Chains A and B, each alone.
Chain A
Amino acid sequence: MISVIIKDLYRYDRRFRFAFIVLMGIVILSILSLFSPYDPSSSYQVPVNYPPSVKYIFGTNSRGQDIFWMMTFAIRNSLLFGISTALLSRVISIFVGLTAGYKGGVTDRILMSINDSFIVIPLLPLLILFSFMFKDRMNLLFLSVVMACFGWPWDARLIRSQVLSLKEREFTRTAVYSGMKALSITWREHLPFVMPIVFATTINNMLWSMGLEVTLAVLGLSHINTPTIGTTIYWVNQHHAFTAGIWWWIVAPIVISIFLFVGLYQLFVSLNKYIDPRTRLLRIGG
């Protein structure tokens, strides 16, 4: 089923084709990290500050690392970070969205008030405080969990509105979200409508969390010895790469991150269009 969808989109949606190719490229790069001849956490393995050449495709940096192989690790870690944050926050957003949507009434209002509070609170200052306090214990997984605790409200709202519109259609007034019977209705009837939205919001969440990781890393608040796109830029700044003229060290993470973010976003947009009930109706009935 999924392969049919991908084939459909690839053939007819130019945007999806672009996104798919770009993201495939990035994923391949990240898989290459498994074959790296260098250990990502060690430095001064190769001559310092060599521009790109046949031997060192992306050049080397001021810490004596091969930029190409470092980037493969950076991409892999950033991607894993994004995926794990997205998955973890799905749990919360699905729970909140479904509960608020099905229960309605006071529960819904309280949940949505809390939900909206989390949306409004400016996250960066809080994360700065958090990372500052936990500097020694900070690693990527921990950061991912923390971000997941804040990344759910927007999507919870989306899931809730989907549930509300489904409720209008399928449920009678007496079906309430409690007890086994209602659960099986949710599982069998509603999930096929809710899942596409969950999937689309997962991608959006990845964009958000990876962007935030870059921001934190640049400030020195991520785990600087784990290579990610963000920490790479951190080291670029620490070594004053652009005043030293080591442009290749700057270009690599920037260009890769542009492709990653733009590609992921295009994927998100074309998926959204595909899910949109209006185009869906037009697709059925060939």
Chain B
Amino acid sequence: MGVLKVEDLKAYYMTDIYGIKRTVRAVDGVSLDINENEIFGIAGESSCGKTTLIKVLSGMVIPPLTVISGKVLYNFKDENINILSLDKDELRKTRWEKISYIMQGSMSVLNPVRKIYKTFQDFVEAHQKITKKKDFMRKVRSHLEKLGLPREVLKAYPHHLSGGMRQRVVIALATIFRPNVIIADEPTTAVDVVVQRGVLQMLKEIQEEQKNTIILVTHDMAVHANIANRVAIMYAGRIVEEGRTKDIFESPMHPYTRYLIASLPMIGDKSDKVNIPGAPPNLANLPEGCGFHPRCPYAMDICREKVPPLIENEDGRRVACFKGRDCGK
């Protein structure tokens, strides 16, 4: 069952300062089909447009970001929601109850002058009235305990907690209403490897217990390998490859995917790591045709002129390449 359908989404940043106009094509024709009860990963380097994609998916479209065309449709058991057409109040109701968001950077996501339980109170009160404070505190405490957080956390200030603790508090915040979709933006980037494991474990357990959908956005391919069911690779504002995690890692097709995977360190692998030639794309000045062609060793003439469409194979794999099944050969 599909829970989120993105149709050919185009979202650009358009600025005009001191007479200089600039258009950054952050999301340039993205289509996705995400199912219920799965962990869907979106991978790509920084400045590939994934942060912008997340903003649009959660309805946070603030100028200079503008949605040029396309649709973002959520499908929950009892309703369909076109998130771009919601007004402010509807948006507020939907966010957190149905669609929640784990933000990047646990360092500064919590209000430094507010105790943790007060932040919980703020977030909950935005959606439900809290009639009995004791009941509320009890529920929050049990929620935290289920996620392995000690109850002392509630009375503390953010600067009292370690980075990993804070990240887990943020996850607890995001799941307090048991939302249908959780969008996690680089949940493990700001923490060290040991804590990373705990965070990923927490996410996996939540998903298994609540049977919801987690959209996991990170450049770290190892994280995707760890817990994602399916992965989509993003480059220069477009999806270049998508498929089941197992398939992608065992037989990556798109040259960019191959480079991403090859750059992962593996125990026992002593070969030299290869750097992708060329530079990351400048979203304000994208090349004609396929976004990857300046760095692609297999580029043909048509790649320089036209944008390759995302074509699906029988086994559910999609690749954006004019070579189709022979992509990367």
A interface residues (Cβ-Cβ under 8 A, vs B): 8, 11-13, 279, 282-283, 285-286
From residue 1 to 51 of chain B, which have CB atoms closer than 8 A to chain A?
15, 17-22
Contacts of B20 in A (CB 8 A): 282-283, 285-286
> B22 is contacted by which of A8, A11, A12, A285 (Cβ under 8 Å)?
A285
B19 engages A282 (CB within 8 Å): no
A9 (CB) vs chain B CBs: closest residue:
B18
The reply to whether A285 and B15 contact each other, CB–CB distance below 8 Å, is no
Q: Let me know if B327 is at the binding interface, CB within 8 A.
A: no
**Can you report 11 A-B residue pairs in the complex whose CB atoms are below 8 A from each other?**
A8-B18, A279-B17, A282-B17, A282-B20, A283-B18, A283-B20, A285-B20, A285-B22, A285-B284, A286-B20, A286-B22
Closest approach, in angstroms, between the C-beta of A191 and any C-beta of chain B?
24
How far does the alpha carbon of A13 sit from the alpha carbon of B17 in the complex, in Å? 10
Closest CB in chain A relative to B168 CB, distance in Å: 30
- A239 CA / B22 CA spacing, docked (Å): 61
The complex places the Cα of A279 from the Cα of B20 at a distance, in Å, of 11
Contact B284 A282 (CB under 8 A): no
Which residues of A lie under 8 Å from residue B284 when comparing CB positions? 285
Binding site of B, secondary structure by majority: helix, strand, loop or mixed? strand
Nearest-CB residue, chain A, relative to B20:
A286
- Name the distance in Å between A47's Cβ and chain B's nearest Cβ: 53
- Bound-state CA distance A223–B21 (Å) is 54
Query: A282–B284 Cα gap in the complex (Å)?
Result: 12
- In the assembled complex, the Cα of A12 lies from the Cα of B21 at a distance in Å of 13
**Smallest Cβ distance from B286 to chain A, in angstroms?**
14
User: Which residues of the partner chain B approach A11 to less than 8 Å between Cβ atoms?
Assistant: 19
- Nearest B residue (CB) for A283: B18
Nearest opposing residue in chain A for B21, CB measure: A286
Q: Closest approach, in angstroms, between the C-beta of A285 and any C-beta of chain B? A: 6
From B15, which residue of chain A is reached at the shortest CB distance? A282
Interface residues of B (CB under 8 A from A): 15, 17-22, 284
Nearest A residue to B64 via CB reads A282
A286 contacts which chain B residues (CB < 8 A)? 20-22
CB distance from A229 to the nearest CB of B (A): 34
State in angstroms the CA–CA spacing of A286 and B18 once bound together: 10
User: Complex: how many Å from CA A282 to CA B18?
Assistant: 9
Residue of B15, B21, B22 with highest tally of chain A CB at under 10 A? B22
B285 closest partner in A (C-beta): A285
Which residue on B lies nearest to A12, using beta carbons?
B18
A285 to B23, CA, bound (A): 11
| A12 with B19: CB separation less than 8 A | yes
CA distance in complex: A24, B126 (Å): 54
Additional A-B contact list (10), CB under 8 Å, known A13-B18, A282-B20: A8-B18, A11-B19, A12-B19, A282-B17, A283-B17, A283-B20, A285-B20, A285-B284, A286-B20, A286-B22
Chain A positions within 8 Å of B22 at CB level: 282, 285-286
A279 — which chain B residues lie within 8 A by C-beta?
17-18
CB contacts (< 8 Å) of B21 on chain A: these are 286
A73–B263 CA distance with the chains assembled, in angstroms: 73
Question: Which of chain A's residues have a CB closer than 8 A to the CB of B15?
Answer: 282
**Chain A residue at smallest Cβ distance from B284:** A285
Most buried by B among A11, A279, A283: A283
CA separation between A279 and B19, bound complex, in Å? Answer: 12
Q: Complex: how many Å from CA A199 to CA B18?
A: 21
Closest CB in chain B relative to A279 CB, distance in Å: 6
Q: How far is the CB of A8 from chain B (nearest CB, A)?
A: 6
Residues on B with C-beta less than 8 A from A13 are: 18
Contacts of A12 in B (CB 8 A): 17-19
Tell me, in angstroms, the Cα distance from A279 to B18 when the chains sit together: 9
B312 CB, nearest partner CB in chain A, Å: 37
A-B pairs with lowest CB-CB distance, top 6: A286-B20, A282-B17, A12-B18, A283-B18, A12-B19, A282-B15
A residues within 8 A CB of B19?
A: 8, 11-12
Complex CA distance for A8 and B18, rounded to whole angstroms: 7
Taken together as a complex, chains A and B put the C-alpha atoms of A13 and B284 apart, in Å, by: 25
Which of B15, B18, B20, B21 has the most C-beta atoms of chain A within 10 angstroms of its own C-beta?
Answer: B18
In the bound assembly, the distance between CA atoms of A195 and B19 in angstroms comes to 25
A32 to chain B minimum Cβ distance, whole angstroms, is 34
Q: Given the complex, which residues of B lie within 8 Å of A283, measured CB to CB?
A: 17-18, 20
Compute how far the CA of A8 lies from the CA of B19 in the bound complex, rounded to whole angstroms.
9
CB distance from B156 to the nearest CB of A (A): 30
Q: A3 → chain B, closest Cβ, in Å?
A: 15
- Give the shortest distance, in Å, between A142 (CB) and chain B (any CB): 43
Distance between Cα atoms of A286 and B22 in the complex (Å):
7
Query: A285–B18 Cα gap in the complex (Å)?
Result: 12
Give Cα A16 to B2, complex, Å: 55
- In the complex, how many angstroms separate the beta carbon of A269 from the nearest chain B beta carbon? 16
**Smallest Cβ distance from B25 to chain A, in angstroms?**
14
- Chain A nearest CB: distance from B19 CB in Å? 6
A282 nearest in chain B by CB position? B17
For A282, what are the chain B residues with a Cβ–Cβ distance below 8 Å? 15, 17-18, 20, 22
Measured CB to CB, the closest approach of chain B to A113, in angstroms, equals 26
Instruction: Give the docked Cα–Cα distance between A283 and B17 (Å).
Output: 6
User: In the complex, A283 Cα to B19 Cα: how many Å?
Assistant: 9
Closest-CB distance, B24 to chain A (whole angstroms): 10
Chain B minimum-CB-distance residue to A274:
B18
Nearest CB in chain A: distance from B126 CB, A:
30
